[in-house]
Structure 1
Amino acid sequence: VSPVKNFTLTAQYSNGINADSEKWSKNNHFYGLSANYKTPTYSLGAIFTVIQYRAAGTYNGADAKDTKNLFLTANKLFGDLRLFASYQHVWNSRNLSGGPNAFYAKDLGFGSAADVKTSKKGFRSDTFVLGANHPLGGGKIFGAFKWNFGKWEGDSYVDGADRNGNRWVASLKYTYPLSKRTLVYAIGNYAKGHGMFEKAEVKATRITTAFGLCHNF
């Protein structure tokens, strides 16, 4: 809904995170609320989500505490330069980061997946991102720097494991349009992990590069 100009409010709910066949009382539930204010030169956004656990998964029990996620973002245009910043705070997350780069408790030295499943609590996490983009040589260059500070608050624990850690990622990307629908891109980033992230050093500390072509049909 858009109650006033430039402002949008969105609400979401899902009762089928694990399986649509499960009864409501035995299914995981997702709640989400977001607000966005956007003008031609700047925008502000906020998202708050909750995952309510009612079914056991690979890394959580049916009685795990809810995962809560607060995400704040802002960007501002200065001529051709756009600056952006974001902050994320997560309570009781079952992993840090996401997708193929996700770090689970078992990856960071807190026991096997079965051990972690019994922990009612998970990770607490704070993430800060600063970045910018600007036209360059007929294309556009993007740069960003991200800091993540995490702590494992679960019951599962292995003697000697560090419960705290931080990880930073520096990224650069360049895109160049070959036509209105086709562009080429190059991406490079360097990540470094400390503390508990050193248990998964191969994934936490690394250099990544990619080159490719994108065509819109």
Structure 2
Amino acid sequence: MFKRALIAAAVAAAVSAPAFADVSITGSMEMNFMVVDTDAATTHELDRGLQIDFSGSDKLDSGSSLIWKVSQKITSGNTNNHTDSYLSQQAWGGREGWVGFTGDWGTFKLGRQFLNSYLTLDWPYGQGGNWQLAENNWFAPAAAGKLTAHFLNGASANYVSPSFGGFSFGVQHSWDVKAGNQNGVDLGDNSITDLSANYSAGSLGLNAGYLFGSDVGSKGDASQWYVGATYGFDFGLNLRALYTGYSKDVNGGASQDGFDWIVGGTYSFGKSFVKASYHGADADNLAGSRSIASVEYGYSLSKNTVGYARYQWRNKEAGDLQYGMVGVWTGF
């Protein structure tokens, strides 16, 4: 009788326990050993990326959900990762920190988050070591209008639509991009507006966007646009190509223009894959065009872990270097 009473009490306690929001811990760990060869010297480097994300969701009575995310990333190199924001990704919540709502009507987020268009240029188009496609720090003075370089913004409002027959769009506005303090600054000051559109039909993917900014980095207006496409074949080959142009007002009412383009492909077979890409760029006031060629081989060590080796070559205008890298990445 006593045992039956204990069981009944335990069941009653379980049934009456309060419901908690869903919380998850995810992230990735990456470690690479690099040998970088330039005319001046050959160096040996460690390139690391250790990321941890905390995210949650709470189902509301209306049927929608409140969602949130806080994350940080420990990286090598510049702790600010080439943005104007004052908060490093290595600070807690420095990578992302936002609260939002999601439902059949779409997703709305407010807080520190990436530009939608930056995420598109970074992946799938910039995969395989072509981070310069979305950023401007490899020749910053010539690419002042590349707004995707200001990729992580502390004050950002972002709406992404649901899919309508494969089509979706995003509208995002970030302000106080230059100062990064989010205190006493109007919505239009140092701002970037990001309009993006995506379409998917079977193996075909299309991406396009237009960004415009005001007084970002320096006085004057800036704009950027891009169009890209991906296509996957049944035998394991995936192709990608993207073109982005950008413009920045300079003194005297003139503008400074530039563009990037990239073509690449990934062939997967068994547990292995091979990636290759060619990235070109040019802009006003440059002595010559930039070129970067990359090739990478990877092997799946498990469903969560990949080992890989990469070789990249950059011409004189792009840094005049070549590097080899071996590394491992795991996600959880």
Measure the CA separation in 2 of the matches of 1:134 and 1:13.
Answer: 37
In the alignment, which residue of structure 1 is the partner of 2:232?
77
Whether 1:5 aligns to 2:138 is: no
Question: Deviations for 1:174-202, whole angstroms, at most 9, x for unmatched residues?
Answer: 22111111111111110113xxx3xxxxx
In the alignment, which residue of structure 2 is the partner of 1:180?
303
What secondary structure does 1:5 align onto?
coil
Measure the CA separation in 2 of the matches of 1:188 and 1:215.
Answer: 20
* Offset, 1:137: 5.9
Letter matched to residue 313 of structure 2: Y
Residue 174 to residue 22, structure 1, CA distance change in 2 (3 Å) = farther
In the alignment, which residue of structure 2 is the partner of 1:30?
192
The one of 192, 203, 210 equivalent to 1:41 is: 203
The one of 266, 289, 292 equivalent to 1:169 is: 292
Q: Which structure 1 segments of 5+ residues have no match?
A: 94-115, 153-162, 198-202
**Cα pair 1:174 1:186 within 8 Å, conserved:** yes
Question: Deviations for 1:60-97, whole angstroms, at most 9, x for unmatched residues?
Answer: 2xxx221211111101112211111110101118xxxx
Measure the CA separation in 2 of the matches of 1:125 and 1:81.
Answer: 31
What secondary structure does 1:24 align onto?
coil
Letter matched to residue 280 of structure 2: W
What secondary structure does 1:124 align onto?
strand
**Cα pair 2:173 2:194 within 8 Å, conserved:** yes
**Cα pair 1:65 1:121 within 8 Å, conserved:** no
Measure the CA separation in 2 of the matches of 1:166 and 1:86.
Answer: 17
Letter matched to residue 226 of structure 2: F
| TM-score, with length taken from structure 1 | 0.70
Residue 87 to residue 51, structure 1, CA distance change in 2 (3 Å) = same
Runs of 4+ with >2 A deviation: 118-123
RMSD: 2.4
**Cα pair 2:175 2:187 within 8 Å, conserved:** no
**Cα pair 1:132 1:143 within 8 Å, conserved:** yes
Measure the CA separation in 1 of the matches of 2:254 and 2:299.
Answer: 45
**Cα pair 2:272 2:298 within 8 Å, conserved:** yes
Question: Deviations for 1:16-64, whole angstroms, at most 9, x for unmatched residues?
Answer: 212312421883011000000012311000011112107xx5xx2xxx2
Letter matched to residue 27 of structure 1: D
Letter matched to residue 324 of structure 2: T
Count of equivalent residues: 169
**Cα pair 2:194 2:211 within 8 Å, conserved:** yes
**Cα pair 1:151 1:165 within 8 Å, conserved:** no
Measure the CA separation in 1 of the matches of 2:254 and 2:326.
Answer: 40
Q: Which structure 2 segments of 5+ residues have no match?
A: 1-160
**Cα pair 1:71 1:88 within 8 Å, conserved:** yes
Letter matched to residue 310 of structure 2: I
* Worse overlay, 17-26 or 140-149: 17-26
